[in-house]
Amino acid sequence: MATMPKLKEEEEEAMLLQGQANILHYTYNFVESMALKCAVELGIADIINSHGQPLTVHRSNHSTNCLAVHRHQLPLEPHVISRLEKCLRGDH
């Protein structure tokens, strides 16, 4: 008789763990979609395309900051663009 409550507790723990995994999955998907939105709004693809070759992080930071200033936004710190690039590459 003592095994029934223990089995129920294990099932509840498994369900709770699965629920937490689902929440994290949806959260990461949201973050990825917002990173893509930021990249589009900053025109990162246009910046890379205008150079006609792969850019270093330093050069893409400079170009993105020029674009942000042009659009009357605050200049972006280099670590922000680096984090955005990592997210877009899937480096979590």
Which pTM was predicted? 0.58
pLDDT tens for residues 53-91? Answer: 766 655 655 555 555 544 545 566 667 777 887 888 777
pLDDT tens for residues 19-58? Answer: 999 999 999 889 889 988 888 887 777 777 777 776 665 5
CA–CA distance, 32 with 37 (Å, rounded to integer) = 9
**Eight-class DSSP state of 16:** H
**Per-domain boundaries in the chain:** 3-89
* 3-state helix/strand/coil string of 26-79: HHHHHHHHHHHHHHHHHCHHHHHHHHCCCCCHHHHHHHHHHHHHHCCCCCCCHH
State the helix-helix crossing angle for 57-70 and 78-89, rounded to 10 degrees.
Answer: 110
Q: Residue 18: its pLDDT value, please?
A: 96
